[in-house]
Amino acid sequence: MARQAITDVKDEKTFVKLDKVNLKPGETARLFLIEGADWIVEYSHELRKKPRLTQAEKAAGAQDTPEDYYGSYLCLGKQEILEAGELDAGNCPFCESIAASKGRIGRPRRGYAANVIRFMTTHGTHDPLTPIQVSRLAWVHKDGKKYAEIKGIANTWGDLTKRDLLITNTNQFQAYTIQPSPNTLTESPEVMALVQQTYDQQKYSDEDLTSGLGNAVDAEGARRHADAVVSYANNVIAETSQQVAPVVTQQPVMQAMQNMPQVPVAQAGPIDMSVMSAPPVAQEAPVMAAVAQTPAPAVASVDVDNMPSLAGLDS
């Protein structure tokens, strides 16, 4: 960097570190959704230096490491296109580069964020401490199952601020049981006053909540990050071609790709037909074959952001 007047340097964007809803296995929580059904909803891409391991690779003892992770970035695509389950390659460099990244750029994934109030409870229960103690947390997740449960509670019971949510974490992947309580502790005016005061003084801004779902970059920044990740994909091909020199016809590759199960295809994006006829494809055949034999992983219910190996990396 060249010298310049420090007063002319553009301010760096800094985000507060969010205190998130993040429960240990077996831990319970009693939450009040003070913002009701009004959540931040954003699509983001997960970028990795190496593709996520297949179930077969994990079964063989390999582990995803934090070093393989690059970051989460907000998708620049139009909402109506993303809601239709499509990629918006015209507006989002991440969407455009999914195929070229060979599994390193994830499809846009919907995430949710809101301020919530947590009532402190006696250990392992949903019973509040006396006197009532509260804290403000950001509930940030990309878990369609949690979304469906909260939506279901709202559809069944109406206003989400009329009940507390009683939550128990059932495993190490932040899989929760979520039950509405018959009432809310905020029916007490004293408790509501404490809750409101805590919220007014400590609530996260929309910008801070959004930062919990992914880094916000403009098209130029997105292009730069997408290219960086694609370069990892290209380097891997170069390394592989030095180590492995089998003569593989394209026919097995075609078969392997046709036999690929649904889920890995959905994660990796649409198959790029141009890749299949490109010269380096021969070296990819063993990889593709391995993928084809892999059973579909249960990705949908895993909260990537709260996986132990990735905890805190994108917040």
> CA-CA distance, 187 to 162, in Å (whole number)?
8
Can you say how many angstroms the Cα of residue 305 is from the centroid of all Cα atoms in its chain? 5
> CA-CA distance, 20 to 59, in Å (whole number)?
31
Q: Judged by CB, which is closer to Zn ion: 79, or 188? A: 79
Vertex 159, ends 300 and 83: CA angle to 5°?
A: 35
Reading the block at residue 54, the tokens are: 């297949």
Residue 294 C-beta: closest distance to Zn ion, Å = 25
Q: Judged by CB, which is closer to Zn ion: 164, or 314? A: 314
Residue 18 phi/psi, 5-degree rounding, is: -75, 135
Q: Judged by CB, which is closer to Zn ion: 88, or 164? A: 88
- Site residues (vs Zn ion, CB under 5 A): 75, 77, 92, 94-95, 108
> CA-CA distance, 128 to 120, in Å (whole number)?
6
Residue 76 C-beta: closest distance to Zn ion, Å = 6
Residue 44 C-beta: closest distance to Zn ion, Å = 8
CA nearest to 198, candidates 140, 130, 133, 141: 133
Q: Judged by CB, which is closer to Zn ion: 91, or 179? A: 91
Q: Judged by CB, which is closer to Zn ion: 219, or 271? A: 219
> CA-CA distance, 154 to 249, in Å (whole number)?
55
Residue 299 C-beta: closest distance to Zn ion, Å = 18
Residue 295 phi/psi, 5-degree rounding, is: -65, 155
Residue 75 C-beta: closest distance to Zn ion, Å = 3
